[in-house]
Amino acid sequence: TTGALIVCKNDNAHIRIAEQIKEHSVTRRYLGIVKGIVKQDTGTIETTIGRHPVERKKMAVNVANGRRAVTHYQVLQRFSKHTYMEFKLETGRTHQIRIHLKYLGFPLVGDYLYNPDMEYISRQALHSCRLRFVHPITKERMEFRAPLPEDMQIPFQWDYGYEI
C-alpha cells in the first residue's frame, strides 16, 4: 500500500493517536482498483476480522475471536473489467480493506497475499490518499494528502492487459 501514514515519535504521541483512532476521529481515506464491476455506487461492509484459522500470516472475516470491522466505499469510475473506488475506514483492522473486498468478491488488483492469481501490477492497487487527525501535542487539526502513484494513474490500461 502506498501513500500517507502516521508515524509517532514517542509513546505519548502513540497513545494519543491510538485514542483518536479508537474514538473514530481520525479520517483515513484510500483509493483502490478492484477486479470486477461493483454495481452498487456506495455501501458499507461490516464483518468481524481476525487471524485466519489455518494460514497464520493472513487475516479472515467471521472467525472466532474476530473484532468488528467497518469499511465504507464509493465507486469513482467503472471500466470494462475493473472498478476504481474510494474507501473510508471506520475501524482499522489489519488488512481490513483487502479482506473486505475479497469477501465481497472484488479483490484488489495485485493483492498476491489474498488473491495469488491477480495480474498487471507488482503490488496491491491500494493507496492511502488522505489522513486527518488532531496533533497529539499541539492539538492542531492536521490533514495530509498523498498524490496517486504513477502505476495507479492510468487504470484503463488494466482493462486491456498492458503491463505497467
Q: Which pTM value belongs to this model?
A: 0.87
Please name which of 58, 155, 148, 149 lies closest in space to residue 103, comparing C-alpha atoms.
Answer: 58
pLDDT, mean over the chain: 88
Is residue 161 over pLDDT 80?
Answer: no
Structure confidence at residue 67 (pLDDT)? 93
Helix ranges (DSSP H) in the chain: 11-22, 96-104, 156-159
**Cβ atoms of 3 and 127 closer than 8 Å:** yes
Q: Which residue has the cell 502513484?
A: 149
Pairwise CA distance, residues 50 & 63, whole Å: 6
Residue 3 bridge partners (DSSP): 128
**Cβ atoms of 148 and 127 closer than 8 Å:** yes
| Residues 80-100: tens digit of each pLDDT | 888 999 999 998 898 999 999
Share of the chain above pLDDT 70, in %: 90
| Residues 134-154: tens digit of each pLDDT | 999 999 999 999 998 887 876
140 class by beta-carbon count within 10 Å (0-12 exposed, 13-18 middle, 19+ buried): exposed
Structure confidence at residue 162 (pLDDT)? 43
| Residues 52-67: tens digit of each pLDDT | 888 888 999 977 789 9
**Cβ atoms of 50 and 59 closer than 8 Å:** yes
Size (the chain), residues: 164
Residues 6+ apart with CB under 8 A from 112: 118, 124
